[in-house]
A and B are shown apart, each in its own frame.
Chain A
Amino acid sequence: MRNRAILAACLLTVMVTACGSAEQPEVIEQIVVRERGAAPLAAAVSEGGDDLVALGEDAFQMCTGCHVIETGAPSSAGPNLHGVVGRVVGGLEDFPYSDALTASEAVWDDASLDQYLADPGGYLPGTDMLAGAVRDEETRAAIIAYLAANSVPSE
């Protein structure tokens, strides 16, 4: 009899949990930026518009599928790009670069990054970076400015 009671209790716990009627918290904060169908806010267009680094941060969002940019954070599918400007190509320890990048002894700078981002496979044949080419020159410049801003050694 003892066994039965234990089994029953165990299963019921599972099932009741699965039903999950737990109380959900209330909505804590609801920021309505604009109503549907309304024109974008002016601020959304102009704010930070002349700040290349801020533009670059926005543009960099397209890279975040593969790259993080944070001091000491583990790399994801692509290497952590914090500090990439001034770093030896393929120079991040513990990241499994392609042979192409590992073999290169160049140092990333604005010019090389610009060429690489424009056409990764063309600039460094054999790279694993098969996606993410940035065709637009101004966007590239912004991204590189953002990368550079995140490459300043911190104390």
Chain B
Amino acid sequence: MNDMSPEDKKPSKLAKWSRRGFIGAGVLAGGGLLIGIGVRPGNPIGSLASKVAPNAGEQLVNSWVKIDMNNVVTAIVPHCEMGQGAHSVLAQMLADELDAAWDQVQVMQAPADGSYVVSDTARLFAAPFTLNAADWLEPTWDGLFTQLGKSMDLLITGGSSSIRTTGQYQMRIAGAAARQMLVGAAADAWGVPAAEITTRDSTLTHEASGNSAPYSEFASAAADQSMDHTPKLKTRDQYRLMGRSKARTDIPAKINGTAEFGIDAEPDGLELSYAAVVRPPVPSTTVTAMDASRAETMPGVLQILNMGNFVTVVADSYWQAQQAVNTVQIEWSASDSPVRTMDDQFAVFAAALDEAGETGGNQAAARGDAQAALADAASNVEAEYRAPYLAHAPMEPLNCTAHVADGKCDIWTSTQVPLMARSEVAGTIGMGTEDITIHHPYLGGAFGRRLGSEYVAMAARVAQATGYPIKMIWSREEDTQKALYRCADMSRIRAGLDESGAMVAYDSVFTQRHDPAEACVPAIYNIANTSVRVAEAELHLPFQAWRSVDHSQQGFFIESFIDEAAHAAGADSLDYRLAMLQNAPRHKAVLEKVAEISGWREAGGEGTAKGVAIVESFGTIVAEVIEVDMSSGKPKMTNCWAVCDAGYVMNPDGFRNQIEGGIVFGLTAAMYGELELKDGAIVQSNFHDYKMLRMNEVPNIEVALINSGDVPVGGAGEPGLPPAAPALANAIFAASGNRLRELPIAKQFT
């Protein structure tokens, strides 16, 4: 980030954001954010080359493409692989534009270096409104974005962004540019017009002269060609790999067990010791007294450390460390949080909402005059909803291997944000980021948990104290009870309906707003008067984005409420939504399609009923219909139909996997997900009491895709989740008349 050449230090043109602007503008945008790399004078290619192309004879064509002497193309992708399959699809996009042979394409993760920041991801995180947003939702984000660019390290895997940002705006352009450069180099060498050269399967061919050569032959010469910053991209009819369900390249290693996850780290030449930790049961408290006399006598124990905000035992093995730390008697400081139970937390929320009343709080979005329209409406509908705290519960336990010695720090960990982790470590152990290397292998699940880096900093502190390398592993209980969480919240929504039942006013007020900023706004619906307000309230547990972030609770609030309004209006809940989507043809088509494939208008089996919900999140519109069987008195999910419009789906199989995963994740949370508090500490501890949906509880899931056309490509990892909970709750209402306004659901039927 610091090695920019002076010529790059020109003002960015964020107001006129162009999808290819960054490559034309070079390496700078967003006020100090270094984005992407082209082969051009002044960029830091020299210092990066040793990291991405360490072998002699390899030639970097541009930062995202490496072609070695065996004609193998390596895609250097700036995103982590956490099970979502993005590595593979990004390679598909690059290889397609490059006309590379698919079986000779490899995926390599970009090193955690500031030069690989994901600029478009930053923009989507910071300014989601700027893409296809109605004018009344469009704030001016430039100042914010510039500030964020300066303060943040963006090598992020999150926000369902890999394909729609890095893939669309970087991989494809890089692939197309590299192809043009290879063609140019071959044309020069053969003395033929570039336009007559064809490319396919990593081979250049000039039919008239009979010349043919693999890409590798011109890899070096191509680097001397001028780079087209706006290369011609393929049209859909020219795609050979995009839009196809190519097998994921990471699957074989995961099947045969050779894939390395963070917890597998055993760096060459390092003798590891192992650390287990105990953090305070109540957030923000510290160690006031520690009795480790028993642990001192236990086998394998090397050190016992009181780190102030946690206790750790370092031992010869993880098991020994965990057993020993279990015996340490710790006293914690008193918490000044007023929250001891979830009732207390909801009381805090309710007080904030009471204070905001019908007009107070921070106005997050406004159109028309909602208050006047509510007062004038023929009838009003109002409801209050609650969502609980949730844990991320990734399958791979939190872990971090750290070595601090000789003024250098090496970290091996599963993280979604290697550069943020690097900054956090730097700030914590007082070292410059240039002396810290983050090695980041596969993640065994994250769901947002590994957007936080506090665990990385904890391991670095301990490694600094011991002076020798340690692998710190958190027990499942530690990660469930003392981590970072999807926030609980409460929302009060009111609507005004006219004589026909149509919604003419909408007002909501809730306490938690993180991102995406538009998640709380029912923007897809044509409601003349809309007011969305935030009455901020303190959270007892620390926040961390959880799959689909605010959409996870707002989807439930908004789509449950729309259902209530439909019922109040005496309308079919799907038709009621359709009537409000007259200005949203894509959404309307998605809803009509889900009605069709779910048999919405046909009677279901006895005791069954269907519920519907539609949410647009991360650029993808998803409508879901869930069918429940209530004949036993308890909800049994039988079927789920989902229709998704992501504009264009790059890998249909991978996309379906993600949507199905999002649905199951969302239904798990809807049915069981809940963290309760006792004396300010979390009660649930492990998968026995923080339950996951079992295979026999998962409904049949059918996912249909719509490629609606020339719109920005949407995400896959998160959009399947937000409609799941409201569709389920709405189905239960349809079957039983029981309106569920809080989650989770299962415990309300015991």
Contacts and interface: CB of A to CB of B under 8 A. Distances in A.
A26 B308 contact: yes
Contacts of A16: 151
B360 interface: no
A48 B685 CA distance: 32
Interface in A1-35: 2-4, 6-8, 10-12, 14-22, 24-35
Contacts of A28: 287, 306-308
A64 interface: yes
Interface string B153-192: 1000000000000000000000000000000000000000
A99 interface: no
Interface stretch (B103-111, B345-353, B421-429): B421-429
Q: How large is the interface on B (under 10, 10 to 19, 20 to 34, 35 or more residues)?
A: 35 or more
B443 interface: no
A133 to B, nearest CB: 18
A77 interface: yes
B297 A44 contact: yes
A98 interface: no
Interface in B282-334: 286-287, 290, 292, 296-309, 323, 326-327
A43 interface: yes
Nearest to A28: B306
A112 interface: no
A34 B689 CA distance: 38
A10 to B, nearest CB: 6
Interface string B443-477: 00000000111100100010001001000000000
B703 interface: no
A24 B308 contact: yes
Interface in B56-75: none
B366 interface: yes
Given A4-B140, A7-B139, A76-B686, A31 B296 contact: yes
A58 B517 CA distance: 52
B515 A14 contact: yes
A4 B326 contact: no
B143 interface: yes
A104 interface: no
Interface in B110-163: 126, 139-141, 143-144, 147-148, 151-153
A64 to B, nearest CB: 6
B683 interface: yes
B211 interface: no
Given A27-B465, A28-B306, A11 B144 contact: yes
The main secondary structure of chain B at its interface with chain A is mixed
B308 A19 contact: no
A126 interface: no
A8 B143 contact: yes
Contacts of B461: 24, 27
A15 B158 CA distance: 14
Nearest to B305: A30
B535 to A, nearest CB: 12
B364 interface: yes
B150 to A, nearest CB: 11
A40 interface: yes
B281 to A, nearest CB: 13
A12 B323 contact: no
Given A12-B147, A30-B303, A33-B296, A77 B688 contact: yes
A5 to B, nearest CB: 9
B299 A27 contact: no
B140 A27 contact: no
B428 A24 contact: yes
B517 A7 contact: yes
B365 interface: yes
Contacts of B583: none
B363 A31 contact: no
Nearest to A61: B323
Residue from A24, A25, A76 having most chain B Cβ neighbours under 10 A? A24
A19 B362 CA distance: 25
Given A12-B144, A61-B327, A18 B683 contact: no
A22 to B, nearest CB: 8
Contacts of B304: 30-31, 33
Given A3-B363, A64-B326, A31 B685 contact: no
B151 A27 contact: no
B199 interface: no
A20 B152 contact: no
B423 A21 contact: yes
A6 B364 contact: yes
A2 B139 CA distance: 10
A146 to B, nearest CB: 13
B87 interface: no
Nearest to B687: A77
A76 B685 contact: yes
Contacts of B139: 3-4, 7-8
B148 A15 contact: yes
Contacts of B298: 44, 58
Contacts of A21: 423-424, 427
A34 B302 contact: yes
Contacts of A41: 297
A1 B400 CA distance: 44
Residue from A4, A12, A19, A64 having most chain B Cβ neighbours under 10 A? A19
A92 B686 CA distance: 21
A119 to B, nearest CB: 23
B305 A29 contact: yes
A18 B451 contact: yes
Nearest to B148: A15
Contacts of B153: 19
Interface string A118-131: 00000000000000
Contacts of B207: none
Nearest to B365: A3
B423 A33 contact: no
Contacts of B305: 27, 29-31
Given A14-B515, A15-B151, A47-B297, A36 B271 contact: yes
A30 B292 contact: no
B562 to A, nearest CB: 24
Contact of A18 (B144, B303, B420, B428): B420
7 contacts: A6-B363, A15-B148, A15-B152, A17-B543, A20-B457, A24-B461, A44-B299
Top 8 A-B residue pairs of the complex, sorted by shortest distance between their CB atoms: A25-B308, A21-B427, A29-B306, A4-B139, A61-B323, A28-B306, A8-B144, A31-B304
Given A27-B465, A48-B297, 17 more contacts: A2-B363, A4-B139, A6-B364, A10-B534, A15-B126, A19-B153, A20-B427, A20-B452, A21-B423, A21-B424, A27-B306, A27-B308, A28-B308, A31-B304, A34-B302, A61-B327, A76-B686
Interface of A: 2-4, 6-8, 10-12, 14-22, 24-36, 40-41, 43-44, 47-48, 58, 61-62, 64, 74, 76-77
